[in-house]
Amino acid sequence: MTGYMADMRKLVGHRTILQCAASVLCVDQAGRLLLGQRADNRLWGYSGGSVEIDEPVEDCARRELLEEMGLTAERLDFFCVNSGPEAHYIYPNGDEVSNIEIVYLCRDFRGEPACRDGEMLRLQWFRPEEIDLDMISPPIRPVMRKYLSYR
């Protein structure tokens, strides 16, 4: 963890803080969703992370997609906002957050998927029918429910 969130953790320890995040559901031409197995809880998720001070949310989404999955977003389309009790999360290290997550869909990207920053153990394309919500990291399950019913 670096930047704003790391600075906040130095001040508040593991106490609950608001986390503004930007995330990307990356979908290929075959309709498969790219997910990564998270290093912290071993569950699956899409790319995303905390917005830095004065960083435009879309820039954060693009940065996180590149850092975590090695892809460059050519176009992002707003999908939803994930917040509230279901988005509240306690990380395995004890850090607690109340997430406000802005989620984008990306169907226009370039590059080859690659784990780049150590947050993901592996990446895999999934057809929607292969996704079981029990395999998904808890705070993003509401987004995945919406995505699976949306498509």
Residue 30: pLDDT over 80: yes
pLDDT number for residue 117: 85
Count how many domains the chain has. 1
Residue 1: pLDDT over 80: no
Find the CATH number of the domain harbouring 90: 3.90.79.10
Structural domain range at position 95: 3-150
Q: What is the pLDDT of residues 48-102, one digit of tens each?
A: 999 999 999 999 999 999 999 999 999 999 999 999 999 999 999 999 999 999 9
Q: What is the pLDDT of residues 52-67, one digit of tens each?
A: 999 999 999 999 999 9
pLDDT number for residue 151: 60
pLDDT number for residue 150: 79
Q: What is the pLDDT of residues 109-144, one digit of tens each?
A: 999 999 988 899 999 999 999 999 999 999 999 999
Residue 39: pLDDT over 80: yes
Residue among 27, 22, 30 at smallest CA distance from 48: 22
